[in-house]
Amino acid sequence: MTADRHSSVAGQPATSDTTGGIHAVPLPPGWDEAVRLDEDPATIPDPASIDVPPGLRAEIEGLMSRYPERHSAALPALAAAQRVHGWCSPEAIDQVAAVMQVTPAYLSSVATFYDMLRTQPVGSHYVYVCTSVACHLRDAKSVYEAIERQAVDQGLEDFELREFECLGACDMAPMASIDGRYVGPLSEDDALDLVGALKEGREPLPGRGLPDSGFKLPWAEGGAAPDRPGPPAEPDVHPAGGTWEDAAVLDVPPAEGPPPHPRSIPQPLDPGTSVVPDDEEDSEE
Amino acid sequence: MKETRVLLANIDEPDLQTIAVYERLGGYGSMRKALLEMTPEDVLHELEQSGLRGRGGAGFSMGKKASFIPKGTMDKYLACNADESEPGTFKDRLLMQKNPHLLIEGCIIGSIAAGANKGFIFIRGEYSVQADILDAAVAEAYEKGYLGERILGSGHSFDLVVHRGQGAYICGEETGLLDALEGKRGNPRLKPPFPANQGLYQGPTLINNVETLCSTPIIIEHGSDWYRKFGEGNSTGTKIVSVSGNVQRPGNYEVELGVSVRDIIYGLAGGPPEGHKLKCFFPGGSSAPVLTEEHLDLPYTFEAMAEAGSMLGSGAIIVVDETQPLVALALRLAEFYRHESCGKCVPCREGTNWTVKMLERIDEGEGTPMDLDILGQVQDNIMGNCLCVLGDSMAMPVASMLKHFRPEFEHHMEEARAKRDLAEAVA
């Protein structure tokens, strides 16, 4: 599976201590890049040689007992190790391999396939913003970009922030999943609050999460749907002449002041007024 | 326009996810009936007679599928497909979150029909809240003795495990699901052998969608004749339709199969926002070829959608209004399938990648009219040439957009090129 479209920005390496006794040099983050062709592939680890946190060992053993075939526990076992280590680090993989008695290579083949198993130390929590078809139709991309901007501005750490494929909540589009708690429908204005709450360890957007008691979609009781950004109703005229679209292509600065944010929709003022529209004030805060 | 609530009849009942409330409303009565008053053959017969068709996408007769499971004493399995990752679909999420015991009862009835003693609910990892609710419900059912050895003193034993996926669309494909359940990468398998003969751990396996299994307790309770009264022709029963995209009230609506598409989109979901009009819609998830305004008055049935050149699929209607550029939509769709292609079959792995590249070229003003022809050819070469239908799932909607809206693609290409030329002339 290609991962090109999905960049993570907010996460900082959770642990970079991947230098085991067998590695002469520190490994770069992400074990799947550290291929050592001069070494033999790792074999099934000796259970006595690897220290596994007792809680994790018990959990994986419990998982294996639920299936007729112990290999079936690979996915939940890797997820359990990820909860302990923050990501599927070489250490985590070795621990699972030792308990399950499979090769680390087998587990790494599994871990690299699934989107929710992290093979990079990008943070031990996640924010997935859905940008799939149904959310795309309701302008999810700009919501993602707003959250991304806020995450960078506010320095959000230990969170994996990425665009995600359809999360199965198109009724609350555009939406995001914060460690499994679905929130929506989101607008760009929610980004500030959402990231701020995550940074302070609060629950973001209380009452607007799918599992919250009394959660209702805004239009559930015959209410009207919230406004959806459409094409600008006003003519597209740049202060320096021509259209904003042409100006963007030609890279013409506006008549005065810094260039507006490329994603904000230009709203020319009515002739004879000098009042700044409310929403522009909000976005500058 | 009103909903016909059968599956969702009690969905607004507070605390329906607890076994006490579920039983107070008559829950697990169908299980008792199936175990104590009916033979497994009767159960299978009722399911076949009901005409219930798979609600996950393929629309194959549920009873027929169960009847393919060989008789005998080998280990047989039931797998419930709760991976629900088809873009636009969110009906199973609602059922599992609000009414998990209905699904458990459905799994038990499915296991009776198939003769399975071990079942798995494969739920996508993103649904962690719903998986926790299911886990709690399964524990309650075990406590009551509705799961485990010799249920209610009958001869039938059934164990049920909630298995969480870790984020891969392809695990919703039945054989990909089996591989993921066996702890491997979720690559689809070559068929035949079909899962009914050799599925999970090489044993006969019945795989059904959440909504399909949730319908079985209702069929057993009221009988197949009652169930057949709903629907039209070979599309019997009710269907939860997930409506999303550019409509005023996105959500899950349960309707009798056979109501018109217009009634669903405009009557229930409120139609496109004020001042906008419908350009096209996906009638059955993002894998279904798009249909246009002229198809709005068709009845929403498996047959009518197929006749119109599309499919009912998972029952997810995604509405696109006139403000949406289709090149961007096709690109977003193609990117999704490129990301989710498991890479096993060349036409899908390469075809999805090339489709993305060509659409990007068109969007950036570097496309030529020939690209549209090649785009169409690439889609033709994907269809029917892979082990599973993931590649087809991109090829069908992209090809249909090209078919219905080719002038828009051409116009978009010209505009993008003019813009690029202008930028180059200045630079």
pLDDT of A247: 65
Helices (H) and strands (E) in chain A, counts: 9, 4
Give the pLDDT mean for B278-307: 96
Q: Which residue of A133, A138, A221 is the best one to mutate when testing the B interface, meaning the one whose CB has the most B CBs within 10 A? A: A133
Interchain contact, A110 vs B183, CB within 8 Å: yes
Asked if A249 is an interface residue toward chain B (Cβ–Cβ < 8 A), one would say: yes
Give the pLDDT mean for B269-277: 94
Average predicted confidence (pLDDT) for chain B: 95
pLDDT band at A225, cuts 50/70/90?
Answer: very low
Q: Which helix (H) or strand (E) holds B251?
A: strand B251-256
Q: What percent of chain B has pLDDT over 70?
A: 100
pLDDT digits (tens, 9 = 90+) for B365-376: 999 889 999 999
Q: Are A176 and A140 in contact (CB under 8 A)?
A: no
pLDDT of A181: 96
B382, pLDDT greater than 70: yes
Write the residue in A3, A113, A173 that is nearest to B168 by C-beta. A113
pLDDT of A7: 36
Write the residue in B90, B328, B336 that is nearest to A170 by C-beta. B90
CA distance A165 to chain B (A): 7
Q: Which residue of A has its CA nearest to B421?
A: A249
Whole-angstrom distance, CA of residue B204 vs CA of residue B118: 11
Question: ∠ at Cα A87 (A143, A48), nearest 5°?
Answer: 170
pLDDT of A30: 54
A148 φ/ψ angles, rounded to the nearest 5 degrees: -60, -45
Asked if B82 is an interface residue toward chain A (Cβ–Cβ < 8 A), one would say: no
pLDDT of A29: 52
Write the residue in A68, A133, A167 that is nearest to B286 by C-beta. A133
Closest to A194 (Cα-Cα) out of A214, A213, A180, A208: A208
B352, pLDDT greater than 90: yes
A95, pLDDT greater than 80: yes
Q: What pTM value is reported for the model?
A: 0.86
pLDDT band at B285, cuts 50/70/90?
Answer: very high
Closest to A108 (Cα-Cα) out of A47, A17, A31, A20: A31
Task: Look at A31-45, B253-267, B274-288 and tell me which has the smallest mean pLDDT.
Answer: A31-45
pLDDT band at B148, cuts 50/70/90?
Answer: very high
pLDDT band at B317, cuts 50/70/90?
Answer: very high
The residue ranking higher by pLDDT, A8 or B357, is B357
How many CB atoms within 10 Å of residue A214?
5
Interhelix angle B100-114/B210-222, nearest 10 degrees: 80
Model ipTM value: 0.94
Instruction: Tell me which residues of chain B, numbers 182 to 241, contact chain A at a CB-CB cutoff of 8 Å.
Output: 182-186, 201
Tokens of A284: 């500058």
Helices (H) and strands (E) in chain B, counts: 17, 10
pLDDT of B363: 94
Pairing of strands B251-256, B238-245: antiparallel
A266, pLDDT greater than 70: no
CA distance A24 to chain B (A): 31
Give the pLDDT mean for A116-123: 91
Whole-angstrom distance, CA of residue A79 vs CA of residue B87: 24
Instruction: Tell me which residues of chain B, numbers 88 to 117, contact chain A at a CB-CB cutoff of 8 Å.
Output: 88-90, 92-93, 97
Asked if A176 is an interface residue toward chain B (Cβ–Cβ < 8 A), one would say: no
Asked if A170 is an interface residue toward chain B (Cβ–Cβ < 8 A), one would say: yes
pLDDT of B427: 81
Closest to B110 (Cα-Cα) out of B173, B175, B60, B40: B40
Q: Are B242 and B268 in contact (CB under 8 A)?
A: no
Whole-angstrom distance, CA of residue B183 vs CA of residue B186: 8
A232, pLDDT greater than 90: no
Give the pLDDT mean for B175-197: 95
A260, pLDDT greater than 80: no
Asked if B423 is an interface residue toward chain A (Cβ–Cβ < 8 A), one would say: yes
B184, pLDDT greater than 90: yes
Task: Look at A175-184, A275-284, B79-88, B141-150 and tell me which has the smallest mean pLDDT.
Answer: A275-284
Average predicted confidence (pLDDT) for chain A: 77
Cis peptide, bond prior to residue B192, ω within 30 of zero = yes
Give the pLDDT mean for A154-161: 93
CA distance A73 to chain B (A): 6
CA B313 to chain centre: 6
A268, pLDDT greater than 50: no
pLDDT digits (tens, 9 = 90+) for B392-415: 999 999 999 999 999 999 999 999
B302 φ/ψ angles, rounded to the nearest 5 degrees: -55, -45
pLDDT band at A31, cuts 50/70/90?
Answer: low
pLDDT of A282: 44
* DSSP designation for B155: S
Counting one residue from chain A and one from chain B, the pairs whose CB atoms sit within 8 A come to: 188
Closest to B240 (Cα-Cα) out of B4, B2, B1: B4
Tokens of B103: 């699904």
Asked if B320 is an interface residue toward chain A (Cβ–Cβ < 8 A), one would say: yes
Whole-angstrom distance, CA of residue B31 vs CA of residue B117: 15
CA distance A281 to chain B (A): 26
